[in-house]
Amino acid sequence: MTDSELAETETATLPLDQWHREQGARMVPFAGYRMPIQYEGIVAEHDWTRNHASLFDVSHMGQLAVSGEKAAQELEKLLPADIATLPVGQMRYSLLLTEAGGIIDDLIVTNTGSTYALVVNGACKWDDIAHLREHLDDDITLTHYDDFALLALQGPEAAAVLEELVPGVAKLTFMRAGLFKFGGEHLWVSRAGYTGEDGFEIAVHEKHVRELADALAADERVKPAGLGARDSLRLEAGLPLYGHDLTTETDPVSAGLSFALAKSRRESGGYMGHPASMVRLEQGGTASRRVGLALEGRLPAREGAQVFAGNALVGTVTSGGFSPTLDHPVAMAMVETEYAQTGTELHIEVRGKRLPACVVPLPFVPHKYVRKGS
């Protein structure tokens, strides 16, 4: 058996697997699934998302629900977010932490009214499920919606496109969600995404996902896009990717995610990793920081590239690539805190050469979310 044949047997297929192949997708193994990495081309799909609307399949993500009389209190044992006061239909970014304050995963939690829905990263969803089951009270029900697909429609024309098919969604604002109907079937729609653009994520039963994908793709403003464009877009948006920019060796403070440690809970605590997180906050920082780096020239720096200040090794690239929007390479890196200030001149070693790089603010490209009151 060839390596490619072995990979096929060891990976699952998405509900839309055949649909992607019919659209001309190149499929690759990712997070335990065969996933579309590109159709027309990564740069073309990236640019289309920035100017129109792209359809991404993110069904590899874990869609979970936590329910029970004390669901909010139980989640607050594991998440540093304020869950008990989360309004119905509101979403919140949060983190699963180790006792030492390391990041197990980053996720989105939503109060649906009857449950707390969690969307976790595909590559570690089974570990997340095990962690939740181990630490949540026995009276709490944890449901994994493994028969649901998840589509992301992203770009400046996404709202107009989706409103024509699913009336009412345009009233949602960033990090708000609700229940809607399409063709008589229920959809859970959230105004969020991972590209920095305005857009939506749509949870739909796998039996009906092809009908929805066909309807969206039939609009001339929409084209399918793969993992490649999703990654270049999220890099430009300065959004960390678990397993790369975030790991159990990374803490919220050094990762630039202190906002996820709810101010209302910093004193009261009660969640896993609270003492370690507060020590880092109270010390005023950490030994290293996640920063954005703009590179000169055309050669991109990839994950693992070493960052230097003079002859001193001061950090490591965690994500990097060429920015189609900015027309030059960019990267995110963990660097020693004294070199994390905006404007600091550094060098990154790529293919045996030291390339000039400068610390710049994140995001590289401004977010275009439609926020309440905007």
| Domain residue ranges in the chain | 3-59+147-236, 287-360
CATH 3.40.50.720 fits 287-360, yes or no: no
Q: Which two tokens stand for residue 194?
A: 């991972």
- Can you give the pLDDT at residue 198? 98
Residue 158: closest CA among 144, 145, 174: 174
Q: Could you write out the three-class secondary structure of the chain? A: CCHHHHHHHHCEECCCHHHHHHCCCEEEEECCEEEEEECCCHHHHHHHHHHCEEEEECCCCEEEEEECCCHHHHHCCCCCCCCCCCCCCEEEEEEEECCCCCEEEEEEEEECCCCEEEEECHHHHHHHHHHHHHHCCCCCEEEECCCEEEEEEECCCHHHHHHHHCCCHHHCCCCEEEEEEECCEEEEEECCCCCCCCEEEEEEECCCHHHHHHHHHCCCCEEECCHHHHHHHHHHCCCCCECCCECCCCCCCCCCCHHHCCHHHCCCCCCCCHHHHHHHHHCCCCCEEEEEEEECCCCCCCCCCEEEECCEEEEEEEEEEEECCCCEEEEEEEEEHHHCCCCCEEEEEECCEEEEEEEECCCCCCCCCCCCCC
CA distance 36 to 145: 22
- Can you give the pLDDT at residue 5? 37
| Cβ count within 10 A of residue 44 | 15
- Can you give the pLDDT at residue 187? 98
Beta-strand pair 62-67/116-120: antiparallel
Report the chain (374 residues): mean pLDDT per 10 consecutive residues.
Answer: 41 96 97 97 98 98 98 98 98 98 98 98 97 98 98 98 98 98 96 98 98 98 98 98 97 97 96 97 88 96 98 98 98 98 98 97 98 84
- Can you give the pLDDT at residue 67? 98
CATH 3.40.50.970 fits 3-59+147-236, yes or no: no
CB of 344 closer than 8 Å to CB of 177:
no
pTM of structure: 0.95
